[in-house]
Amino acid sequence: MLADLLAKQSTLHHVLTISFLLLIFCVFLRYRSARCRLANPNGLPYPPGPKGLPIVGNLFDLARSNDTNIYESLAKEYGELVFLSAFGKSVLVLNSSEAANELFDKRSANYSDRAQSVMSNELMGWDFSFGHMRYGEQWKKHRRVFHQQFQQSVAQTYWPIQRREAHALLRRLLDSPENLDYHLRLNAAAVIMSITYGITIALSGDRYIRLAEKALEGMGAAARPGAFLVDFVPFCNDWVPGASFKRKAKEWRVAVTGMKEAPFATVLNNMKEGRAAPSFVCNLLNDLQTKENVEDQIQTIKNCAGLTYAGMFTVSTLASFILAIVLHPEVQSRAQEELDCVVGRDRLPDFSDRPSLPYISAIVKEVLRWNPVAPFGLPHMSTNDDEFRGYFIPGGTIVVGNSRCILNDPLRYPEPRRFNPDRFMAEADRNSNQHLSPGDPLSVAFGYGRRFCPGRYAGEAQVWISIACILSVFDIGHALDDEGRPIPVVPAFTTGMICHPMPFKFSMKPRGENARLLIQQTELCA
């Protein structure tokens, strides 16, 4: 009887606790609603969007999976602005380059902040990343350090490393093209680790790669608005012990910490022993201003170095390139004609050939457009209340650029799902500079406004040299079944922060014996 009484008391306690929390939450929503009315004295409407439910709002309209298709459908229904609200927090999705340019660029002072995700920052440990930081002095300090080593003029110093690893990728593809995904991940990691830390990675089972991939898995899972309820109802972090999101966050936090700390410690040890290779970290540590705040400077360098793993986007970009070539053999034929005319077949293309290879550069641009790696990127946040096109945007609104929708706008890019590098050739004829300019509408593939990817020049260069080298020595096409018939390929992509092609069959063979010898000879120069 005593046990039953205690059990009833415990149950009553839980009911009262939950009721109390719900009461507090309802009061909070009433307060937030009243604050929004005061901040919006003209009574302007919110941007268009689906009608929400009481209390939870648009919680069930926020995509937790298949987000690309869900937000594309919302864009078709509501237009270039889609407004969602859940538990009193607002999300605005921008579906046109005009709206994105107006808010992220022209009004960048108000749209460069980041929402502080409980899941990403507090639980997973991404608070060190200036990509996740609030817009302010701390962010500016980190951005300056990163820009110092990755601005366009400095990015050229990394070309020898990128060329070396592009050649290594050719050798691996020659030996086992069926392991494409592994080879691309190894290629990206080798470039990043060499540039950032001067570390040569292991060809299999590398611990740095394992840590980075696990950490980036968590970042991608938490990036989409509404993926984890704790970001909309922060107090559930305190009163939901043992929840699944906490178990996931704990695993990811171990990887995030290891990704940041382990390679940095290796560089420090190598520097003490006098055998550190030149690198992003080594260069900055050697240039330390030792008069003041040394520990703070070291922490900033470590934080910036840890963010270079975002360069793993090249894996998805190059996989999308292979898929596009399988589906469009005419693109490969034209590219190889250009390469044979400019470079010949007795050497591999180099960065010095880039001005003379406009079609290869057009392919790079079309790959970035056709399947943007980060269809939504890391969301921005409005700092203050704002009015835009007669609509009210509350301060603290999470603002997302729908890059997938923007780069598939049929008015700007006719037949957007067709892979067609020709759409960029007229631009190439007008401008001998084959790089993306910050004002180019295609630059949204690297982010928006003041928060665009600062490593874009190095990343774009790696994609260019890899594509040029692959096309110069390989013929890519459909794989054949047992009866010699081409295996059909239907393009399909994952969803989430990083959009990667789903597995597909393909054939990759050297363009003759001379091409095979060219690939094999690269090992002598490695």
- Between CA 214 and CA 218, with CA 215 as vertex, the angle to 5 degrees is 90
Count of H-run helices and E-run strands, the chain? 19, 8
Q: Where are the domains of the chain?
A: 137-522
Q: For each of the chain's 526 residues, which pLDDT tens digit applies?
A: 444 443 444 454 444 444 544 554 554 455 445 444 446 777 899 999 999 888 778 878 877 777 888 888 999 999 999 999 987 889 999 999 999 999 999 999 999 999 887 888 888 888 888 888 999 999 999 999 999 899 999 999 999 999 999 999 999 999 999 999 999 999 999 999 999 999 998 888 888 888 888 888 888 777 666 666 666 655 554 444 545 777 888 888 998 999 999 999 999 999 999 999 999 999 999 988 676 788 999 999 999 998 888 778 899 999 999 999 999 999 999 999 999 999 999 999 999 999 999 999 999 999 999 999 888 878 899 999 999 999 999 999 999 999 999 999 999 999 999 999 999 997 655 555 566 666 677 888 999 999 988 899 999 999 999 999 999 999 999 999 999 999 999 999 988 778 899 999 999 999 999 999 999 999 877 6
Superfamily of domain 137-522: Cytochrome P450 (1.10.630.10)
Residue 453 marked in a binding site = yes
- The Cα 273–Cα 135 span in angstroms is 38
Model confidence, pTM = 0.88
Three-class HEC string of 433-479: CCCCCCCCHHHHHHCCHHHCCCCHHHHHHHHHHHHHHHHHHEEEECC
CA of residue 157 relative to chain centroid, distance: 23
